[in-house]
Structure 1
Amino acid sequence: MSRRKLTDEQWDRIEVYLPGWAGRPGRSGVDNRLFVDAIPWMAGNATHWRDLPEVFGKWTAVHARFRRWSHAGVWERMFHAMADTPDFEYVLIDSTISKVHADASGAKGGLKLPRSVVRAAA
C-alpha cells in the first residue's frame, strides 16, 4: 500500500488546492491526506469502493467525499494547477475502455431463436 501513498513533497504541492483545513474546527479538513491516499489505491487496484481497506475509513464516507469533491471541481482545479508544473511535463494518463456485448452485461434479451429452429433441434 505504501507504494501508492503520496510522498511528503507531493503532499505539500497539492495540499493548498484541497478544501478544508486540518486545524479548523469541524470535519472540513480532517484526514485529507488519508483520503487523498485512498484515491491512488483505488485507481491502482481497479477495485470497487466496497473493497477499500478500512485503514482509509468507511468506504461509504470515502466514496461520498470523492463525489462531493468531484462535483465541486476539486480534482479538476488540482489537475489544472499541477499541469503547469514543470515536473509534470511528461506525465502520461492511461485509459482502457472495453466494450462488452449487451448479453454479457446482464441486459435483457440474449439469443432469440425462432420456434421452428427450436422444434427442429428437439
Structure 2
Amino acid sequence: MSRFQLLSDAQWSMIADMLPRPTGRKGRPFADARTMVEAIIYRYRTGIAWRDLPEVFGPWQTVWTWHRRMAAEGTWDRVLERLTAAADEAGQIDWTVSVDSTIARAHQHATNISRHTGGWIELHESADPTPDPAPEPAGSRTA
C-alpha cells in the first residue's frame, strides 16, 4: 500500500466491488485496485501531470490506463452515483440551489476579441490605396 492513503477503509469498502478484479489470466501482474484509485485521486487533488505521479504508485502509464479504461466503461459514473446516493441518504447533501440574477459586466479590455475602431471600411479596404474608377453611366460615351 502507498504512503498516500487518501481513502478511509469505510470509503474504500463502498466502491471496492465496482472496480476491476484479477482475471486469473497469465501475463503481467494485476495492479492493486486501491493503489490505482489512490493514485488517480492524488493526481486530481494535486493537479499534477500523469508523468509526475510519485513512484510509490507504480508506473504512471499503468495508473493512466486504469483511469482511461474505467472512464470509458462508465465505472466512474457508477461510483459517483453510489457515493451520491449514500451521502444523500445520510443527509450529507443539501440540494438547495441559490441563483443570483446579478449581471457582472466585464471591462471592454477583458475580452479576447480584437477591437477595430475604424469601422467597416477600414476592415475591408483593399491593399491598393487608390480607389477604383467609377463606371461610366450607360449611353454617355461620345464617339
Shorter-chain TM-score range: 0.5 to 0.7
Aligned length: 91
Output one character per residue of 1:21-66: Cα deviation in whole Å (capped at 9) or x when no partner.
Answer: 5xx5246964000001011111111110000011111011111111
Task: Summarize the Cα distance change of 1:44–1:31 in structure 2 as closer, same or farther, 3 Å threshold.
Answer: same
Cα distance change on mapping 1:45 and 1:72 into 2, 3 Å: same
Tell me which structure has the larger Cα radius of gyration: 2
- Measured in 1, the distance between the counterparts of 2:14 and 2:30 equals 16
Aligned-pair Cα RMSD in Å: 2.8
Scaled by the length of structure 2, the TM-score of the pair is: 0.54
Equivalent runs, 1:43-54 vs 2, <5 Å: 43-54=44-55
Q: Report the counterpart of residue 15 of structure 1 in structure 2.
A: 16
Closer, same or farther: CA 29–81 of 1 in aligned 2, 3 Å: farther
TM-score of the superposed pair, with normalisation by structure 1: 0.63
1:77 has 2:78 as partner: yes
Deviations for 1:49-99, whole angstroms, at most 9, x for unmatched residues?
A: 0000111110111111110110000000111122111347338xxxxxxxx
Show structure 1 runs of 4+ deviating over 4 A. none
Distance in 2 (CA, whole Å) between partners of 1:60 and 1:87 is 37
Unaligned runs of 5+ in 2: 95-111, 113-143
Which runs of no fewer than 5 residues in structure 1 stay unpaired? 92-100, 102-122
Contact residue 49 and residue 59 of structure 1 kept, 8 A: yes
Q: Which residue of 2 aligns with 1:89?
A: 92
Which residue identity lines up with residue 84 of structure 1 in the other structure?
Answer: A
